[in-house]
Structure 1
């Protein structure tokens, strides 16, 4: 059994707790949280600790906290030469302090507190200083996921930027669409079948092949009508995205 402890109490930490708790090859032994109430439901055999000195020996410690405090947390760990991994999509391997062996265990997914996910479908990107540590990380990742990737720090930074476009920006566009619907007394639900079809289409086609709409077909009359309808930042976003589609993603 691989013994794992998780440091942190946010969304990523909470989902990792649930995933590891279901595994037969990983023993989750502790969750560290500075908060007295971590807000995470723990299985009975997993202890919640608030003092770094109370951390027991484990094969792997996963730091699942916001990017800005990873270095601080790793520097406060009261031991040396143990395997420490962070879960950040942007911070380099070197963010972990030099007292311990450095690694990355990055699950590429959007996590919300009250939305369950199937971890078996989540890609886990792993990186380590040493080959033996990489092998342990890979075994740990495969205990909860069917999709594991060896990704270095530069690749992971690029992947995180790509994920922002694919997820965060896309979700913001959903928010704009929701505002337009509400402002015109229509339910956002009317767009959901379109959203589902758009997402499912790229499982069979490339994004370029799947692109449709007035910008793709250079329908200048429809584009002009849309821009006349919109105001403020919505018009600006519409214009930038339209030009980008028309240029096929090339520099504007």
Structure 2
């Protein structure tokens, strides 16, 4: 049996806990034996009280320690680990493998997905990007990752950085555009729900077409008159700036 410990209690940590607990019911090959958090009450809805610790010196011996905290807190966690030569990984998309110190074996266990509190996701479909210093540790990470996901990738730190930037564009920036669209609807007494089938269809098209093939709209068609009318309609300076930048980017793309 492979033993795993998670350090953290935020969105990523909680979704990992849920995924490992679900996987353990199907197969006992990988077991989540303990979770570290500063506040026990943040996890008692997911785990038995005795499987949660608030003290680093109470961490049990495990095959893998997954640090699932904010990027800025990784170094603090690493410096407090009371052991040496164990496999320690983080879940960050942007922090390099080298950020982990040499007291322990290093790795990355990066699930590429947007996680929201109390919003369940199907972890089996989530890509997990793995990195380690040696083949033996990678094999262990691969085995553990496969216990909760069907989509595993070997990704080095530079590739992971690129993925994280790309994810900001396709997820965070896209969601901000939804927010702007919602504001425009509210200002003009139009239900945002009318746009939801369009949002779903746009996302579905990317599963079958390249982004370039799926691109439509006045900028793609170079419909200058429509673009001018829409620019005149947009009164919010920030929204207009974003509209112009994205329109020009689409036109430049051909």
Q: What is the TM-score normalised by the length of structure 2?
A: 0.96
Other-structure match for 1:113: 117
Equivalent residue, structure 2, for 1:2: 2
Does 2:222 match 1:235? no
Which consecutive unaligned segments of at least 5 residues does structure 1 have? Answer: none
**Contact 1:9-1:40 at 8 Å conserved across structures:** no
Q: Select 2:214's aligned residue among 210, 221, 232.
A: 210
| 3-state DSSP of counterpart to 1:22 | helix
| Match runs of 1:100-249 below 5 Å | 100-231=104-235, 232-248=237-253
Q: CA deviation at 1:45?
A: 8.2
Alignment match, 1:16: 16
Quote the RMSD (CA, aligned, Å): 1.2
Does the CA-based 8 Å contact 2:40-2:49 persist in structure 1?
A: no
Cα deviation for residue 40 of structure 1 reads 5.6
Q: Deviations along 1:47-68, whole A, 9 cap, x unmatched? A: 1100000000000000000001
> Residue 76 of structure 1 is aligned with which of 77, 80, 84?
80
Q: Greater helix share, 1 or 2? A: 2
Give the Cα separation in 1 of the matches to 2:11 and 2:150.
Answer: 21
Q: Deviations over 1:213-248 (max 9, x none)?
A: 000000001000111011210000000000000000
Distance 1:98 1:72 in 2: 14
* Superimposed CA distance per residue, residues 54-95 of structure 1 (whole angstroms, 9 cap, x where no aligned partner): 000000000000001101111110000000000000000011
| Alpha-carbon shift at residue 41 of structure 1 (Å) | 2.3
Instruction: Give yes or no for contact 1:28–1:46 (8 Å, CA) kept in 2.
Output: no
Number of matched pairs: 249
Distance, in Å, in 2 between the alignment partners of 1:45 and 1:182 is 46
Seen in structure 2, the aligned counterparts of structure 1 residues 186 and 39 have a Cα distance that, compared at 3 Å, is farther
Q: Deviations over 1:157-205 (max 9, x none)?
A: 0000000000000000000000000111111110000000000001111
**Residue segments in structure 2 that go unaligned for 5+ positions in a row:** none
TM-score (norm 1): 0.96
